[in-house]
Amino acid sequence: MGKLEEKLENYFNENYLPMHMPGHKRNINLLGEKLPYKIDITEIDGFDDLHHATGMIKDIEEKAKRLYGSKRSFLLVNGSTCGILAGIRAMTKYGDKVLVARNSHKSVYNAIEINNLNPIYLLPKIDKYGIDKNIDINDIKEKLENNKDIKLVIIISPTYEGVISDIKKVVEISHKYNVPVLVDEAHGAHLKFINKLSENEAINAGADIVIQSLHKTLPALTGTAVLHIQGEYVKKENIERELSIFETSSPSYILISSIEECLDIVKDKGEELFKNYEENLKYFYKETKKLKKLKILGNKILEEKTNNEDEYYDFGKIVVLTNNCKITGKELSDILRTDYKIELEMSSINYALAMTSICDTKENFDRLLQALIEIDEKLEKEKVKIVKEIEKTRKIEIKLPKKEIGILDAINNENIEFLDYNKLEGRISKEYIWVYPPGIPLITPGEEISIETIDKIKEFLQAGIEIRTTNNKFPKIEIIK
Ligand SMILES: Cc1ncc(COP(=O)(O)O)c(C=O)c1O
């Protein structure tokens, strides 16, 4: 059984006349070969159908299933986004109650909106650096006990910053209450192949639906992802139905080939690649212990290791803490970009985050290391004013905003006005207010904007962090009169 990519090449060489989509007609004389027009087809005879896979696409799904040990795996070409939308819709009915990690990605909130779900939030605690901790099992237990009508538990693991929850325990407790678990593992397609973390990869740990972006942490083209299911709670027909709603009806075969290539690389060469990767990471963490002012979160975790919880951290996420020196995370990220041509994944008030993968060479790690050493030498050891301020407020327990009306009701409300964000104390938002990246909401539609939220927004702005809203009219926010 040859690979899809070879079949696409062969098909091009056979010189079929394409009297069908796509409109580029593989005309490389006109368009050149810089982009892969030659192998860009969509569903034509003999090439299977992503929405009803029985042939070559089914074979790739089988590869994913075998690699991750699921009952069934679906290929996604619209990112984890479409898998999360489809997964949540497949597991809930309009108006159902769901238990949701508050630090969820916006696709989770979009699913809540579409199905008019009633979310009960799991609010993660934050650590002393302002980073969300893992899911508190007692919190899940208490909420399931007090809300016997919850139909689905939705959590994110790993988080953007690499914090992994104890999925085994989450599943154990949720299943006790007869509630299935969906894990947004968009940042964890590689966990299964990392020593010590594989057990806690969500499929291994028993989750019912798991969605992973292959493109985030494995060698695959942007937009590629997989949705895995297992157990008795999930009906594959429901997933298929929802994927046919949320996923394009013209899937790119280039992306599907990339999924196959990625799965094959991990299966055939993964052992060596992950071994090298873990060695490079160990080396990087060891060398960065020498930094005097900048600190690496992973090293702090290793130093302060006190309980099992600390084992669940993805060291592939390099979180550089700037809270003890005179720059913000955003400024560090800007220096790395302008002076060293190193582009990080994201930055926040007092940290910046570099994502790594098996495709990073030792030279890549060295380049980042040398840049950090040089920057560290020049830095003054003094806290930025804004960091001092937020460290004070961090000691105060964070609270969930007060929900006045449901997300969908707020969105449908036409009795609105636009006001400046700092005049909104006590008003109900009609839109989302996100910190960007990663796009976790400070406020969802229907929630009351408190003075604490306004202060939080000010803090982010002072540190140069972007605030986005649904209408893109910030600092004006649409509120319900
Ligand atoms: C936690 C999380 N979940 C889901 C997604 C959506 O993934 P994708 O970009 O593959 O659609 C993202 C994207 O950044 C994410 O960070």
Structure tokens, 13: 């060489």
Q: What is the side-by-side order of every strand in the sheet holding 150-156? A: 72-76, 225-229, 209-213, 181-184, 150-156, 97-101, 118-122
Q: Is the pLDDT of residue 417 over 80?
A: yes
CA of 83 to the centre of ligand 1 (A): 10
Looking at the CA of residue 78, tell me the nearest atom of ligand 1: 11
Residue from 102, 130, 437 nearest 297 by CA: 130
Looking at the CA of residue 81, tell me the nearest atom of ligand 1: 11
Residues 6+ apart with CB under 8 A from 73: 61, 64, 65, 226, 227, 228, 229
Question: What pLDDT was estimated at residue 397?
Answer: 57
What CATH code is assigned to 4-264? 3.40.640.10
The per-residue pLDDT for range 130-146, each reduced to its tens digit, is 899 999 999 999 999 99
CA of 76 to the centre of ligand 1 (A): 12
Q: What is the mean pLDDT of residues 213-220?
A: 98
Question: What pLDDT was estimated at residue 349?
Answer: 87
Could you tell me if the CB of 186 is within 6 A of ligand 1?
yes
Q: Is the pLDDT of residue 9 over 80?
A: yes
The per-residue pLDDT for range 51-91, each reduced to its tens digit, is 999 999 999 999 999 999 999 999 999 999 999 999 999 99
Residue 293 is which amino acid? Answer: K
Peptide bond between residue 36 and the one before it cis (omega within 30 degrees of 0): no
Could you tell me if the CB of 107 is within 6 A of ligand 1?
yes
Looking at the CA of residue 82, tell me the nearest atom of ligand 1: 11
Q: Domain limits of the chain? A: 4-264, 270-383, 399-480
Residue 194 DSSP one-character state: S
What CATH code is assigned to 399-480? 3.90.100.10
From CA 187, how far away is CA 463, in angstroms rounded? 26
- Domain spanning 270-383: CATH superfamily: Aspartate Aminotransferase, domain 1 (3.90.1150.10)
Could you tell me if the CB of 225 is within 6 A of ligand 1?
yes
CA of 213 to the centre of ligand 1 (A): 7
CA of 80 to the centre of ligand 1 (A): 6
Could you tell me if the CB of 4 is within 6 A of ligand 1?
no
- Report whether 227 contacts 61 (CB < 8 A): no
Query: Best mutation site among 74, 104, 105 for ligand 1, i.e. most ligand atoms within 8 A of its Cβ?
Result: 105
CA of 189 to the centre of ligand 1 (A): 12
Question: What pLDDT was estimated at residue 398?
Answer: 67
Question: What pLDDT was estimated at residue 241?
Answer: 98
Residue having the nearest C-alpha atom to atom 1 of ligand 1: 105
Question: What pLDDT was estimated at residue 1?
Answer: 61
Element (DSSP H or E) covering residue 369: helix 362-378
CA distance readout (Å), 115 to 25, 179, 434, 473: 39, 18, 21, 26
- Report whether 160 contacts 104 (CB < 8 A): no
- How large a percentage of the chain has pLDDT more than 90? 84
Question: What pLDDT was estimated at residue 456?
Answer: 87
Q: What is the mean pLDDT of residues 453-457?
A: 90
Q: What is the dihedral of CA 197, 201, 206, 209, to 10 degrees?
A: 170
Q: What is the side-by-side order of every strand in the sheet holding 416-420? A: 416-420, 476-480, 428-429
Q: What is the mean pLDDT of residues 167-183?
A: 98
Looking at the CA of residue 225, tell me the nearest atom of ligand 1: 10
pTM recorded for the entire structure: 0.95
Furthest-apart CA pair in the chain: how many Å? 69
Residue 63 is which amino acid? Answer: K
Could you tell me if the CB of 213 is within 6 A of ligand 1?
yes
